[in-house]
Each structure stands twice: as structure tokens, then as C-alpha cells.
Structure 1
């Protein structure tokens, strides 16, 4: 609570003297973070946006999390048993789990949550094809009965990013089975303070005193999620130079991501610490709309991949420090073990322009259709990318319109499946944490799910067939062969153009300790030293 000067003067003398101390104490017990973008969706199972996932980890918890080696570890679960035939997984919940409304977490809440999640998430939909039924013999026991063995079940429900399998109350899920939730009640370390939410300004969370953290040390999304702060406040500051100034002045404690051109300001300030936010980096991608011309044409998509130069995008996002980015001519992140740069002879080979570029465009059959690029002008990382692509495609001979908008509007507009003449779109840019697209079943950017998939709606029965074979493969050699076939198919079809990997920097006041690495900024384990 902050008192105005007038309010302080009206207090009795003893309280008036104590008011600054009370305000200072509250400030010390509050963690103030500047998110990269405003929070638009409150439902992290519906939205794939990074900010929605970050919000989700404040409020909700998962049955299993992942450690630093991306291995599934029990979180809300006490443990599990698997039947001899691999078709029954019995998961036992920890004692004392409660939702923020005071109700106990029951096995039926978990069943309803997994069922809803599995209809929305890329990995979840594959998992759902193996599920026969959920059984809840008692409040702490969940039995997942399968039609066939599904060895990666824990990997599915423990996935750390892009629509994690967050557990919600059954009553809320039944009220919104396929639409965004409106009541935000989880069982995680913080409660969402809906009454304080001011879109574009403030998102606030209060510590949930009923949360029971695990005893293990925290790693990524697993272990003891100890909330040391009474409050967490997200201060939405669209202008990043203003946000950096607020961090330097101590008006905020933490800046989720610092644009590269402002990093020198924080790097030379001894009261600020910076670190790579995610050791595996994030992939910059250009996503096509496959439903409408002109990018329903695979030849034109391959042309764009051949004229785009990754270095143009990476130096814009991450600056010229060679340690801040990595070119990766592949359809999967090069920071993931086993991924090879199979596109070395294809990515950017026409970037120099000239007659070869013009002839290649003619060969695609492009007929001059308008290319509408959606560009989030309020996102410091993504905003410069739209103009780069617009200039690139104009120079190559395409008819381009660049539309600036805020990120929230882009998230809404990219759901429009109509032609560009009726509010549709052709492409947009975004980023994906490498861990979120690390293998064929996770990699939303190349999955061929069509209408049920990620906006852009790339459809390929062959891609889905190979992905399911990869998922069922038990022999490492067979799995590697299938991975190679999937990778080659993605390079031919180009559902998305990867533009390289960068390592986002997060910055925080030096008195903070316990900041964990990961695909988002986690509020637990952080304390003021």
C-alpha cells in the first residue's frame, strides 16, 4: 500500500511516522517485473504466447515438471506406477494440495485438465490418440488407461513450454471446455489478483500461503517452488528505454528481456546483473499462412527460404556480438543434440539477388498476389523483423503490405482464416524457445496438423504419419532415420522459415538472488539479498 502525502497528514502522529516504513516494507516484499509484452490471454492452455506461459507458471502447477536435463520429474505427483503391459499408468497425488479457492486438488480435477489440454496442445493431441479412459478410484489416485503403450506419456504431460499441461479445477473446465477460462484459479505458488489487473499497465499476483513446495532444489519447472515474495507485480512498460531507466533507478527489480541496443546501459551498471535467459536459446521464425494465396504455394515458400539471410535478422534482434546468436540452417534448433544443418546449401542461397533470384521467382508461378505481413510494433524483439522481410520480398518482386499493430491484436488477427481482402494475412514473425520445438512431435512450426494446428495451418498427412512412426519407434537407429525423413520433408515443404537462434538477455537488480534459467522467468526461488 502506498499513502499519498495528504493521507499521511491525516493519520495520527504515530501512524504518520510509521507510514513510510510500512510502504518501504511492502516494497521490499514485492517483486516488480517488466514483461516483454502485455498479458492478453489468461488461459495458458489456449494460448501459446510466451507471456501466457509465464503467467501460467505463477498461478498453476503441473503433475510433472522437467529438470535441467529436460527429464520428467514428479511435481504435484508423488510418483507413478506402470502396468506390465504399459497400458495403465497410476499416478498418486501428493498430500495437502489445494487450489486457491481452498478446495483440495482431486484426481478428477487432474483428469479433466489433461483431457482439456490434450485437445489443444500439439503433443497432447498425439497423447490423446493413445488414451482410452481416465479413472479416479479415490481423490489422490489417477489412472490413465491406454489403448496402446505410450512410452513418452510423462514427457507429454511434463512439457515445459507452449501450452503445458496445467492443472485446473474441474468445475472451471466444465464451464469452459473449449473456450478460454474466465476464472483463474490454480494451485501454484501465486494467486492471480484479478481485481488489480489493468490491461496495459499492471498484472499482480499474491503469494498463496496454502502452497506446499517440494523439498528438492528447483530446476526449470521441477523441484521446490518456494515463493519468497509476498507479491509479484508485472509493470507493463511498452517503451523499453523507459523500462531500462526504471530498472536502473530501482523503480522495478527485473526486466524479462533487454533489447540488444540497450544492453550496454545495464551491463556497465554495477547494481544490475544480466544473464542469458535460456541456455538453449530461442528460434526466430517466419510463419506462413498456408490456407490462402500466395503461400499456399510450396514453391514460393521455398523461394522465400532461399532469399532470406539469417544474419540480417539475427543482428537486428541480438546485435553484432557473435556470442549473442547462432545461424542455424535447419528446420529444428541446432542447440538440440542430434540436429544437423541439412539446409546449408539451401538457406539464403539466392540472397545476393540478381538474375538468378528473378528467374527463381518466375519458376514459382507467383501471380502478383498481395503479401500481408502482420508486425507487432510494441514488441521490441519482433518489431524490426517485419520491415526486414517487407523490404526483402519487395526487392525480390513480391507485392507487399506491412501492417503495424500491437501484439495482442496480432494474436487475434492471426486466427482469421479468410483471404487478405477480408482481414486475412500472409505471414508474421515470432520466436520459440528451442526446448519447445526440440523434436518432431513438439515442433509446432513443422507439424502438419492443418485446421487443428498452429495458425498458418500447414497440412501434411505424410508429416503426421512420419511423426507418429517416430513417436512409436523404440530402436534409436530407427528413430534417427525417421527424424532425418521428417527434417528433409520439412525442408521441402517449408511450413515455416527458421531465421536462426538468439540468446535473450534478462536483467535484474543485483540484490536479487536465485534467478533460474528457463524458457520463461519463474517467480519462485527468487529473493532479495
Structure 2
């Protein structure tokens, strides 16, 4: 443990022990003080897939449909929908009384423009957009989507909760180029973004939106009644884990989103802190290549690293060597999901042999090109991955540089398509909640959409053809066959390296209740017991 972390943690523990019971009580129970997983640098949840921005997005914005605990699509801003007999015209009726945070009514044309912008950044949305003839409005409360051909999965696309969610914005914001960030935060969700109190790297503030009309159903995932029990939510950005741990034990904050594994035992000994795993599905760690530039525009070099990676090294590093919360998963689809079968080709199985990996690199044509690894030093649920990869590539005698910075800077820089000599990158790591990458419709990491796809810009027309067939067939057996063909193509082309499955613990002050069983840190439904 670093000396600074030890001092901060020790100080927090002494404060928690020495303080009389009265000091352990909340000073203002109308305010929720939250330590997010990372700094919030990108505010537009359509522009990026960063989880921290998605958390911000669900706080401020709302969606037409949500997903319940059983994975079923449920109306949210929508009152209901209808589909024409030929399947080519969808009409979605908005609930009455919806308002934006600036007081203006939510109109169907706002939502049509929002869907159009979202579809240009999302994998599933892109599949839908190829069939859309028009995004329009029949009247102020009725969205009308005209299709060139039927798309039965339309509601599943606009309801999904991960990668890029279909957040609704006023038309004047939704008309922004989707590859340029919206900076004015006007949503219709349960909380308003307080722009004049936003300080990137330090503080984010939200206030309850009194004009929000929650649904009457119980809250489940992103569906049901999003009841805002707090008048104010304050995010305190704390890159140092020891500081966050001490603040939680002392009652200075109420909820720490992602707990450092090495601090879990300490927090469990605090009578005023609860440590939990709220997500039952777990996360899949991934190593993502930049497929635009050398050396990883060469599939043979990517494949050599796919072979060389030992998942156990990564999983032990990310979990603090806690076998209770990790398991290897040698599948391109998440283990434990319908397509998550470990069917690696024989030549990729078994413990990696570094001598063979070096030979694979030579045979594929690696000639010492520089590799830049972007790595977030402030995000313990990702940061160790970069350090393990840096060590691996050094042992493989590759020309490698580890650029350690904050996660917000990683999010900004990974959008660059420049070569490393001009500020680009070669590798970054991240994690995905298992449900967000479980099939060809929603997983951006295996799709081959090129420059129109996810960061790394992997292009593969065959994968796109297989995904298109998966979307259009109603035969589940054929869908499973197609998913396996995509998996085998992904083992050959290696757009990404799976690093295994693990769980991330969260911690909060005992007495805070209403947590949803999801991978995301949603602010609604929470209250003090």
C-alpha cells in the first residue's frame, strides 16, 4: 500500500473510531454525497461510451423505454406504441406532462431528433438507422418512425442500457453533430445538472427536478418509477483510493462507487459501512487495439497478443488476488450468457509460451513499431490492466510506452485517430457489464464497422454481414450459429482481447437503502432507512 494511502486510510479509521455516535449521523439527509469511479470530463452521453458519462446521463436525461430486472422492455417516457400491419411504421406516444429542465414541454420532434443523433453513434442504433426512411413526428406527442423494411427489434434498440443509451434531448441540442460534444445539459430526468458548480476533477452537482413525473411502477433497472428522494447529489472526485476510503468511514461521503480490492477488508471492519456487489452478472475486462495504425492494423500481430495474454495475471491484479470475485473466460462473448462458449481454436489454447508468441510477432511482420498504451492511474478497476500489458509487451521485446493519466484524459485521447507520433494510441483497456456485450446487436467490440464503429475502428465486412443476418432471422438456432461464426472470426482477427470476468465491489454508509441490482450507479430509489 502506498504511504499516502496508508496515512489517509489510517486517519479515516481513527476518526471513525474516536468520533462519538452523534458525529456518525448525517448532517443533511437531503444531500447524497457520492464518490464516482472516475472524473467526469465528457458530459455528452451520446458522444462517448464511458461508463462515468453514462451514469451522468441517466441522472440528467431520460429514455423512451427502459429495461426491467428480467431484461424486458418497458415504457418510460413513452405511454405506448403501435406498429403498422406491414411493420414499416412505428408510432410512439409520449406521456402527458413531460418537461425539459428549462421548463419547455417535451415534444415528439425533440425525441425524433434525439433518436436520429443517437443512431449515428451506437452499434445497435446504426443497424436500425440503415432501415429508417424518416425520423419524424405526427403531432406534439406522437413520434413517427418510417422504415424501409421491418425491424422488429426497434424497441430493444432504443431501450438498451449500455454503451450508448438513447437519451432524449431538446431538438436544438439533438441537432448537434453527433461527433461533436453537446455541452449544455438540458434533460428531462429526475435531476438537473448544476453547471455553475461543475468543476472537472473535483466536483459535480445535481439538483432534484421538481417537474419530473416518475412512473408509478416500482423501480427496476432503468424502468419503473425513478423517485428522487434527495434534493441534491454531490459528486466528490477522489482519485486517491485511501482518501475515498477515509472519507467514507468518517461519514464525509455516503457512497463510494468502486472500492479498491486492497481496502475491502478495512471497510468491512467498519460498523458504519456496508460493502456489496450490486451487479449479479459481473464485468468483462478487455484489451482494445487501434486497428487503424501500425502495428495493430496487422491482424497477425493482434492475434499474437491474443495468444500471449494470460488472463490469470490480469484478474489477480485487478481484484487484489481475490479468487472469490474472478474467473477466467476464454470466449469473445461473456461467459454465463447464451453465446458465451469457450471454443478457442486449438492453437490459442493452453498456457502462453512467450518464445512462441515472439515468433508469431516476427512471422506476422512486427518490426519494432512503437506501441502506446493509454492507462488510467485513477481507476483501480481498470488501471492494473495497463500495467500488466506493459510488462507483457516488454517481455515480448516490443517497443512500448505506458502513458498513465486520469480516465477522463484516456476517454478524450482514445477518440483520436492520429498515429502515435501525432498524439494517437495503440492500446487501451476497459470493462463492460456482461449484459452490454452479449450479442451481435449490441456489442461494439466485435462488430466490424470501421471508422463508423467503436474506438479502435476495426473493420470486418464478414462480421457485419453475419450480424445483419443475426438481426433479421427469427430462428434462435441460426442466431446461435451466427454468433459462433462471429466468435471464430474474432479469434482469427482479434479486434479485442478478453481478459476474463470479475466483480467490482461498492461501499456505502449503512442505512442507505434502495440500491438497484445493476452494473450502473443510478441515483433514483435511494434513501436513508
Gaps of 5+ in 2: 1-21
The SS at the match of 1:112 is helix
Q: Given that residues 219 and 225 in structure 2 are in contact (C-alpha distance below 8 angstroms), is that contact kept between their aligned partners in structure 1?
A: yes
The SS at the match of 1:283 is strand
In structure 1, C-alpha distance between the alignment counterparts of 2:178 and 2:370, rounded to whole Å = 37
In structure 2, C-alpha distance between the alignment counterparts of 1:325 and 1:83, rounded to whole Å = 47
C-alpha RMSD of matched pairs (Å):
1.7
Q: Which residue of 2 is the match for residue 419 of structure 1?
A: 419
1:178-193 equivalences in 2 (<5 Å): 178-193=179-194
TM-score, scaled to structure 1: 0.93
CA 1:174/1:419 → structure 2, altered by over 3 Å: closer, same or farther?
closer
Q: Which residue of 2 is the match for residue 319 of structure 1?
A: 320
In structure 2, C-alpha distance between the alignment counterparts of 1:135 and 1:427, rounded to whole Å = 40
1:291-330 equivalences in 2 (<5 Å): 291-330=292-331
Structure 1's consecutive aligned runs of 4 or more residues displaced over 6 angstroms after TM superposition are none
Q: Given that residues 288 and 496 in structure 2 are in contact (C-alpha distance below 8 angstroms), is that contact kept between their aligned partners in structure 1?
A: yes
The SS at the match of 2:431 is strand
- Cα deviation for residue 176 of structure 1 reads 5.2
CA 1:167/1:357 → structure 2, altered by over 3 Å: closer, same or farther?
closer
Q: Which residue of 2 is the match for residue 507 of structure 1?
A: 507
Q: Which residue of 2 is the match for residue 60 of structure 1?
A: 61
CA 1:515/1:456 → structure 2, altered by over 3 Å: closer, same or farther?
same
The SS at the match of 1:456 is coil
Q: Which residue of 2 is the match for residue 233 of structure 1?
A: 234
Q: Given that residues 46 and 178 in structure 2 are in contact (C-alpha distance below 8 angstroms), is that contact kept between their aligned partners in structure 1?
A: no
In structure 2, C-alpha distance between the alignment counterparts of 1:277 and 1:162, rounded to whole Å = 19
Q: Given that residues 305 and 348 in structure 1 are in contact (C-alpha distance below 8 angstroms), is that contact kept between their aligned partners in structure 2?
A: no
In structure 2, C-alpha distance between the alignment counterparts of 1:109 and 1:281, rounded to whole Å = 35
The SS at the match of 1:501 is strand
Task: Note the alpha carbon deviations across 1:278-314, whole angstroms, 9 max, x for none.
Answer: 2111111111111111111111111101111001111
Q: Give aligned pairs, total.
A: 506
Q: Which residue of 2 is the match for residue 110 of structure 1?
A: 111
Q: Which residue of 2 is the match for residue 9 of structure 1?
A: none
TM-score, scaled to structure 2: 0.93
CA 1:372/1:70 → structure 2, altered by over 3 Å: closer, same or farther?
same
Q: Given that residues 306 and 349 in structure 1 are in contact (C-alpha distance below 8 angstroms), is that contact kept between their aligned partners in structure 2?
A: no
Q: Given that residues 116 and 178 in structure 1 are in contact (C-alpha distance below 8 angstroms), is that contact kept between their aligned partners in structure 2?
A: no
CA 1:129/1:416 → structure 2, altered by over 3 Å: closer, same or farther?
same
Q: Which residue of 2 is the match for residue 464 of structure 1?
A: 464
Q: Which residue of 2 is the match for residue 383 of structure 1?
A: 383
- Cα deviation for residue 137 of structure 1 reads 2.0
1:344-383 equivalences in 2 (<5 Å): 345=346, 347=348, 349=350, 351-353=352-354, 355-383=355-383
Q: Given that residues 92 and 141 in structure 1 are in contact (C-alpha distance below 8 angstroms), is that contact kept between their aligned partners in structure 2?
A: yes
Q: Which residue of 1 is the match for residue 485 of structure 2?
A: 485
In structure 2, C-alpha distance between the alignment counterparts of 1:177 and 1:317, rounded to whole Å = 34
In structure 2, C-alpha distance between the alignment counterparts of 1:239 and 1:348, rounded to whole Å = 38
In structure 2, C-alpha distance between the alignment counterparts of 1:448 and 1:376, rounded to whole Å = 26
In structure 2, C-alpha distance between the alignment counterparts of 1:297 and 1:28, rounded to whole Å = 56
Alignment partner of 1:401 is 2:412 = no
Alignment partner of 1:274 is 2:275 = yes
Alignment partner of 1:44 is 2:45 = yes
1:245-264 equivalences in 2 (<5 Å): 245-264=246-265
CA 1:129/1:192 → structure 2, altered by over 3 Å: closer, same or farther?
same
Task: Note the alpha carbon deviations across 1:142-176, whole angstroms, 9 max, x for none.
Answer: 12111111011011000101210000011222355
- Cα deviation for residue 424 of structure 1 reads 2.0
In structure 2, C-alpha distance between the alignment counterparts of 1:115 and 1:45, rounded to whole Å = 11
Q: Which residue of 2 is the match for residue 129 of structure 1?
A: 130
Q: Which residue of 1 is the match for residue 291 of structure 2?
A: 290
Q: Given that residues 255 and 509 in structure 2 are in contact (C-alpha distance below 8 angstroms), is that contact kept between their aligned partners in structure 1?
A: yes
Q: Given that residues 278 and 515 in structure 2 are in contact (C-alpha distance below 8 angstroms), is that contact kept between their aligned partners in structure 1?
A: no
CA 1:39/1:358 → structure 2, altered by over 3 Å: closer, same or farther?
closer
The SS at the match of 2:238 is coil
Task: Note the alpha carbon deviations across 1:34-90, whole angstroms, 9 max, x for none.
Answer: 001010111101111000000001000000000112211100011111122111111
- Cα deviation for residue 322 of structure 1 reads 2.4
Q: Given that residues 46 and 165 in structure 2 are in contact (C-alpha distance below 8 angstroms), is that contact kept between their aligned partners in structure 1?
A: yes
The SS at the match of 1:148 is coil
In structure 2, C-alpha distance between the alignment counterparts of 1:254 and 1:339, rounded to whole Å = 33
Q: Which residue of 1 is the match for residue 14 of structure 2?
A: none
- Cα deviation for residue 423 of structure 1 reads 1.9
In structure 2, C-alpha distance between the alignment counterparts of 1:350 and 1:422, rounded to whole Å = 37
Between 416-425 and 74-83, report the one with greater CA deviation: 416-425
In structure 2, C-alpha distance between the alignment counterparts of 1:181 and 1:358, rounded to whole Å = 45
- Cα deviation for residue 348 of structure 1 reads 6.1
In structure 2, C-alpha distance between the alignment counterparts of 1:246 and 1:289, rounded to whole Å = 38
Q: Given that residues 280 and 336 in structure 1 are in contact (C-alpha distance below 8 angstroms), is that contact kept between their aligned partners in structure 2?
A: no
In structure 1, C-alpha distance between the alignment counterparts of 2:347 and 2:407, rounded to whole Å = 31
CA 1:456/1:175 → structure 2, altered by over 3 Å: closer, same or farther?
closer
Q: Which residue of 2 is the match for residue 6 of structure 1?
A: none
CA 1:67/1:372 → structure 2, altered by over 3 Å: closer, same or farther?
same
